[in-house]
Each structure stands twice: as structure tokens, then as C-alpha cells.
């Protein structure tokens, strides 16, 4: 892999991991359109580490607060709700582990899943009620959002878009929908990173250390940029703007890309 390709994939991973447009779908599409070979497991792992660093840095105040107040009832409850929200994705990932490769290589499937993301984002327009916060999060809310996160295992279905939308469907304040969605993302991204780390026998870098590091740096930088963008868009209630983009992209993929 060239340095230019590592920069390009790092930017795509960083931007699309947190914007509601599906990082896995965009990476698969980029590899197809530009003839980029499937990244090595080392490079894929380092990109996941980059986005993990980005979300931890961005939510550092919330994370520090959780650790400082780890013994408080409210904090313990939030942690339990985050664990509950993660369980559906773990179960579905285990059930589909032998079928995911076929789904990922099918651009027709990815195009369809982009359209599904579009529909989910568009529906947020019709949910104006904002009354819930993380302080009154229930197990039903957590499980509901977790189910949407599980569906986002499919390439083309956005994890951030699905979980934020699900929180809005449950009448959460948009700021709290943002916080819950990306706190949820930490164990998911960490789990993906650790799984790949294990598969490569706990070696972080491959033979192309320079390109791996460059991809990592760009994934961190653009991950932070995308988090800032989505927070502003969400607070302004404009999440459905991304629905237009996902619908057009999904339609183009299904109609014109073989």
C-alpha cells in the first residue's frame, strides 16, 4: 500500500466512522472504485485504534467523570446500561461471523444498506419531543438503541446514525443522544481492535510501519473533525441532511456499479 492510499483510507475511516454514513460501506466502495487492495489486518487494526483514540479524546471529560465517580449509583447504572446496549451487537456479530465476508464483498448489498441508513436518518425529522437525559435512561431505552447498533454491523448501515436516531426515537435530548451513542461506540471499537490485535498475534504493526502510522494519524485527526461536525449537526436537528446523501449513494451503487 502506498502512502497516498494510507492517507486516503485514514481520512475515510476517520470521517465516516462517526458521521452517520457508514465507515465500512465507504471503505468497501473506495477499495472497489480506486482499485485499492484489501488493507492488511495490521493496517485495519491501526485504523480502528485511530478512531478509538479520537473518540476517547473527544469524550475525555465524560470518561474522566465516570472513572472519578465509579462508585456512585448513577455512574454504575450508566455503565450497566452501556453494557446492555452492547450485548445485541455481540450476539448478532457471533451469529453472522461466517456470513459477513460475503456481505462485505457484495456492493449490491452495501447499496441497499445505505438506503436503509437513509430511511432511519430521515425518520428523525418526525420526532421532535426531547425530554429524556442519561439520568433517566431505562433498560428498555438501552436495549432499543443496542438493537439498532447490532443492525449497524452490516456494511452500509451507519452505527452512529442508527444509535443516535434510535435515541431520538426514544425522545432523548439530542446532546444526550450524542453522548450515549459515542460512549457506546468505545466498547464496540475497542472490541474490534482487540479482536484484530489477537488475530495478528499481538503485533501492532506489519512490514509497512510508515504507511500504518500515517493512516493512524489521519484517522485520529479526521475522527475528531467528524465528531465535531456530527455534534453540531445533531444539536441543530439537521441529521436528516445525511439521509439525502446516503439515499443517492445507495441508489447509484445499486443501479450503476456492478
Domain containing 132 equals 3-256
Cα distance between residue 237 and residue 239, in whole Å: 6
For residue 250, the model assigns a pLDDT of 94
For residue 201, the model assigns a pLDDT of 72
For residue 3, the model assigns a pLDDT of 86
Nearest in space to 19 (alpha carbons), one of 118, 161, 127: 161
Per mean pLDDT, which range of 163-172, 206-215, 216-225 is the poorest?
A: 206-215
Give residue-wise pLDDT tens across range 168-210: 999 999 999 999 999 998 988 888 778 777 777 766 665 667 7
Mean of all residue pLDDT scores within the chain: 87
**Residue 137, SS3 per DSSP:** coil
Give residue-wise pLDDT tens across range 54-88: 999 999 999 999 999 998 999 999 999 999 999 99
Asked whether the beta carbons of 165 and 144 are under 8 A apart, the reply is no
For residue 62, the model assigns a pLDDT of 93
How many distinct structural domains can be found in the chain?
1
Does the pLDDT of residue 121 top 80, yes or no?
A: yes
> What does pTM read for this prediction?
0.89
Amino acid at each position: 500500500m502506498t502512502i497516498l492510499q494510507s492517507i486516503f483510507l485514514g481520512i475515510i475511516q476517520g470521517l465516516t466512522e462517526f458521521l452517520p454514513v457508514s465507515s465500512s460501506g465507504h471503505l468497501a466502495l473506495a477499495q472497489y472504485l480506486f482499485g485499492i487492495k484489501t488493507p492488511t489486518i495490521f493496517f485495519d487494526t491501526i485504523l480502528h485504534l485511530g478512531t478509538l483514540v479520537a473518540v476517547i479524546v473527544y469524550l475525555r471529560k465524560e470518561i474522566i467523570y465516570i472513572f472519578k465517580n465509579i462508585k456512585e449509583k448513577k455512574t454504575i447504572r450508566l455503565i450497566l446500561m452501556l453494557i446492555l446496549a452492547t450485548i445485541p451487537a455481540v450476539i448478532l456479530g457471533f451469529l453472522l461471523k461466517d456470513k459477513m465476508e460475503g456481505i462485505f464483498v457484495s456492493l449490491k448489498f452495501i447499496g441497499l444498506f445505505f438506503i436503509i441508513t437513509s430511511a432511519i436518518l430521515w425518520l428523525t425529522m418526525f420526532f421532535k419531543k426531547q425530554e429524556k437525559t442519561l439520568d433517566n435512561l431505562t433498560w428498555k431505552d438501552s436495549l432499543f438503541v443496542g438493537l439498532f447498533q447490532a443492525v449497524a454491523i452490516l456494511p452500509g448501515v451507519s452505527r452512529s446514525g442508527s444509535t443516535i436516531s434510535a435515541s431520538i426515537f426514544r425522545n432523548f435530548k439530542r446532546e444526550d443522544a450524542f453522548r450515549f451513542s459515542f460512549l457506546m461506540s468505545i466498547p464496540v471499537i475497542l472490541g474490534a481492535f482487540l479482536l484484530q490485535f489477537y488475530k495478528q498475534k499481538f503485533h501492532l504493526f506489519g512490514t509497512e510501519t510508515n504507511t500504518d502510522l500515517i493512516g493512524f494519524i489521519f484517522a485520529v485527526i479526521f475522527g475528531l473533525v467528524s465528531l465535531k461536525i456530527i455534534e453540531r449537526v445533531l444539536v441543530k436537528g439537521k441529521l436528516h441532511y445525511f439521509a439525502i446523501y446516503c439515499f443517492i449513494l445507495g441508489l447509484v451503487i445499486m443501479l450503476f456499479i456492478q
